[in-house]
């Protein structure tokens, strides 16, 4: 969040992997520390000239690599200033729409969070089936509530693969929401979303302060890391009050 004015030294740049076009190698080399969080937002990455010398290539090649990072929003570039890691560069692809804290903050309200329940499940056929994994895979289950101005905003049910994220079982999830923790500690390579409308069950109605049967907007998010399922989250919103939104201008 804060603008850390750190500058990256050339020696901190990961080596090239030798696979594919040079500009893509350079791109990967630079994106790795960004998405892994080693270069936090605000970090200045070396100038094109320095990178040109470091990678022993031409400026156009380095330029192409960085430009492509810029068009994807991972970095911002300005003449004379340099290239800076974007705020929220890592979260962007997943969270641009669905981070509850963000949604609440954007509406100008106060965000808070309450952990409801956690459980370790060593063999649960029903959950394993939903999660689409082996029945012997140990799972971690969390339920929590996100609030806007102390009123329920989103009810979150989540299942986490303990083989993919063993440390979460010992984490203090009262202080940090499971979504935030996962984002900070577990990488993913793929995510899939599903949006539907469902009637509130008794449990959901209870937590969201609704009547059973009231319409809820439900977002399901699954993430994988190299084909290993990481987490399945189901997020319930009171149907009428809140809604997801998106807008765009075509770039033509």
Partner DNA sequence: GACTCGTATTTGTATAGTCAATTGAGGTTG
Partner DNA sequence: CAACCTCAATTGACTATACAAATACGAGTC
Instruction: Write out the residues near a second copy by the rule CB under 8 A.
Output: 28, 31-32, 35, 71-72, 93, 188-199, 213-218, 237, 239-240, 242-252
Smallest gap from residue 42 Cβ to DNA (A) = 14
**β-pairing verdict for 151-161 and 190-199:** unpaired
Smallest gap from residue 147 Cβ to DNA (A) = 39
Q: From DNA, a second copy, none, which one binds at residue 176 (CB under 5 to 8 Å depending on kind)?
A: none
Q: How many CB atoms lie within 10 A of CB 40?
A: 17
Measured CA to CA, the distance from residue 4 to residue 36 in angstroms comes to 16
Buried b (16+ CB within 10 A) or exposed e, 56-78: ebeeebbbbbbebbeeeebbbee
Smallest gap from residue 227 Cβ to DNA (A) = 25
Q: Which of 8, 13, 23, 145 binds DNA (CB under 7 A)?
A: 23
- Judged by beta carbon, residue 44 or residue 242, the one nearer a second copy is 242
Measured CA to CA, the distance from residue 101 to residue 112 in angstroms comes to 8
**Sign of the dihedral through C-alpha 210, 234, 192, 94:** positive
For 154, list phi and psi in degrees, rounded to 5. Answer: -150, 130
- Can residue 24 be called a binding residue for DNA (CB under 7 A)? yes
- Can residue 70 be called a binding residue for DNA (CB under 7 A)? yes
Q: Which of 29, 83, 223, 231 binds DNA (CB under 7 A)?
A: 83
Interacting residues toward DNA by CB under 7 A: 21-24, 47-49, 56-61, 63-64, 66-67, 70, 77-83
């Amino acid at each position: 969040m804060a603008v850390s004015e750190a500058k990256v030294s050339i020696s901190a740049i990961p080596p090239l992997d030798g696979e594919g076009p040079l500009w893509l190698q350079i791109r990967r080399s630079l994106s790795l520390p960004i998405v892994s969080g080693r270069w936090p937002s605000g970090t200045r990455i070396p100038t094109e000239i320095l990178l040109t010398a470091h990678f022993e290539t031409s400026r156009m090649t380095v330029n192409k690599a960085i430009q492509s990072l810029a068009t994807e929003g991972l970095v911002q570039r300005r003449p004379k200033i340099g290239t800076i890691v974007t705020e929220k560069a890592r979260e962007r692809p997943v969270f641009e729409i669905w981070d509850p804290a963000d949604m609440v903050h954007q509406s100008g309200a106060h965000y808070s969070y309450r952990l409801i329940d956690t459980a370790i499940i060593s063999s649960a056929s029903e959950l394993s089936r939903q999660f689409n994994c082996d029945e012997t895979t140990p799972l971690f289950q969390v339920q929590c509530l996100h609030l806007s101005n102390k009123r329920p905003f989103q009810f979150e049910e989540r299942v986490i693969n303990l083989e993919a994220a063993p440390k979460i079982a010992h984490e203090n999830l009262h202080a940090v929401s499971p979504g935030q923790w996962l984002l900070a500690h577990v990488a993913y390579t793929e995510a899939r979303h599903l949006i539907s409308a469902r009637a509130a069950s008794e449990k959901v109605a209870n937590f969201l302060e609704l009547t059973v049967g009231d319409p809820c907007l439900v977002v399901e998010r699954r993430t994988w890391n190299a084909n290993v399922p990481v987490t399945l989250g189901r997020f319930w919103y009171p149907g009428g009050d809140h809604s997801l939104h998106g807008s765009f201008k075509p770039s033509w």
